[in-house]
Amino acid sequence: MNRLRSSRAIATPLIRNPQIISSWNSRCATVFPYRLLSTDATVSGQTNEGKSSEGSSSSSSSSSNEGGKPVRGGPVSWLSLLLLMVTGGGIIVYYDNEKKRHIEDLKKGSTEPKQGPSAGVAAIGGPFNLVNQDGKSVTEKDFLGKWTLIYFGFTHCPDICPDELQKLAIAVDKLKEKSGMDIVPVFISVDPERDTVEQVHEYVKEFHPNLVGLTGTPDAVRQAARAYRVYYMKTEEEGSDYLVDHSIVMYLMSPNMEFVKFFGKNYDADALAEGIAKEITVHKGQ
């Protein structure tokens, strides 16, 4: 017992020496960073005998913070922050890529019209009563027994209508030459105020000798456009000079004058001819 007290009496002054404690802490922090807190707690317990456990814990906490940095938990906090940054960055990159892909899909869908599989017969087509380029009354019944390709436009159209009618004429000739298929091309005016019988007569003969040109009263044209779900409206009107905004679509009609398929502006003459030939072949095989 006397030897133990003697040893304790010698150890205590050494531990209370601030220079020794500081040097010892520095070495331990370098070699054993995770054990420094428990060692400081032991030293605090030896130098503060008789105090409560709460006081010992406070002394240990203040001792561990004398260096200005938290000894325990520091590396874990930096690691957590690093993981959070990596995870957050990955999420941001993922959603950014998904957003770009979604925008690209929308753009592609808006510039490349697609016709999905249909069930039954589409509600496109119906009765109409118009006048052809020779002044004769024409209805949908006059086209029964023939494959028909119908395009709605107007004779004062500066570029789109001529391009589409030229494409239509080339496709019709290709089908006749390669497959022997007879297709009746039809042009229906959506500008009845200016497209008289004479105007339509002069217009259609510039594209194809078999092109049928139809016009009529505003009510008759409106009925035909409604039957084929065609949109048209005057734009940029300046007196008698104006343009007509309208749907740019060709409708393939069967010999029963039933809708088969539409072809948009994205088809060129070759693709149009191939598409029509395919639809006619499938229809005949049914």
212 phi and psi angles, rounded to 5 deg: -95, 125
Closest to 141 (Cα-Cα) out of 48, 62, 256, 254: 256
36-47 vs 53-64: helix crossing angle, rounded to 10: 130
- Could you tell me how many residues make up the chain? 286
- The C-alpha atoms of residue 39 and residue 28 are separated, in whole angstroms, by 9
Contact 57, 48 (CB under 8 A): no
- The C-alpha atoms of residue 106 and residue 123 are separated, in whole angstroms, by 27
Is residue 157 annotated as involved in ligand binding? Answer: yes
| Residue pointed to by tokens 């049914």 | 286
- The C-alpha atoms of residue 162 and residue 166 are separated, in whole angstroms, by 6
Pick out the residues of the known binding site. Answer: 157, 161, 246
Pick out the residues of the known binding site for Cu cation. Answer: 157, 161, 246
